[in-house]
Amino acid sequence: MSAVKTIRPGGCSHAKNGEKDTDESGNKKQSKSAECPDCDRSAEKRSDHIVCSVHLELPQSRRRKLILHVDLNNTILVSDAVTKQGTVAALDYFLSTATWGRVNRQGSWEWLSDMPSLLPPCQGAVTYYSQFGRVQDFTGTAEGQRFRGVLKEHLSLLEWRGEEDEELAVRGEDGRLYHWILPAFFQLLQALESQHREFCVVFRTFGTDLARVLGAMQRVLRDGAHPLFTGLQALPMPLNPTPGRIRCSKKNVVLSRGPSGLNKGDERSLYRYFSDLQGLGGLTIATQTWVESPSGLTPSILKCSTSSLTTTFG
């Protein structure tokens, strides 16, 4: 929900100068003709200390498929159905997670930056949220009021300018209409299509908004319903309107979509399932079973430390 620095897709950095023929263990390294694991370019084709521009220099057949796992709440949605936060409250809360300071030697809070950012501005900086937890009306507090202007500026950017749309717009606590799905997400789809990238999108959420998001996306992609992105109707991107579900138990993880499916009992099968996905779809994560699972899962990649990993899909 804040501006971030854009990195060219597939970018990676190389530096040939000073490379050794052996690693720290004495094993011989691959020759300079070996391909870069990040961009598939051979070292012979690389210049010193350059940043690879894969989307410009690699043949289409050698570019990797992108599988984008995207959270919903406070990521592409500036609201939260579970916590009952509207647009204003959600953006206000987000600012508390992207503003940085520290507790000084006198025990008082001091700001280290006047600009929100996703990364700390300096060593030792912590977010206001990590220090004090969730604070209602953050920009209305004595400490957070300096960011009130930032809140107003971004609310203005989020305002819905067209006719009211029940699926694509939402009325905020202040009575104004706002974009429900961040326009930047649609810009991302446009950018990937313009680069002729092979990609798919997997929405993930602990909340209850997935079915509505998929319905809204179906209107945008099928009917060209978004007034700012009518061209997305031509995007060759299939959409699965049926939300999937991830459930955890003490023994395994179950991923399901539809009433019936095929069971797979190993992690590789789950990897192949995600790798073979096409277009756009989504998964709801069962919060309670995830919390109670002792398997130490990382939601972004579903890496399971148990011996059994079950995938069920229709």
The per-residue pLDDT string of the chain (314 residues; one tens digit each, 9 = 90 and over) reads 444 333 333 344 443 344 454 555 555 454 444 444 444 444 333 333 333 333 444 455 567 899 999 999 889 999 887 788 899 999 999 999 999 999 999 999 999 999 999 999 999 999 999 999 999 999 999 999 999 999 999 999 999 998 899 999 999 999 999 999 999 999 999 999 999 999 999 999 988 899 999 999 999 999 999 999 999 998 889 999 888 888 776 666 777 776 644 444 467 777 888 888 899 999 888 765 544 544 444 443 343 333 333 333 32
All residues at 6 or more sequence positions from 244 whose CB lies less than 8 Å from its CB, including other chains? 255, 256, 257, 281, 282, 283, 284, 313
Q: Chain-centre distance of CA 81, in angstroms?
A: 18
Reported pTM? 0.69
Short-list 176, 130, 141, 144, CA closest to 157: 176
CA–CA gap between residue 114 and residue 148 (Å, rounded): 11
Cα distances from 163 to residues 183, 224, 241, in angstroms, run 16, 15, 25
CA–CA gap between residue 176 and residue 30 (Å, rounded): 60
Query: Strands 279-285 and 199-205: what pairing?
Result: parallel
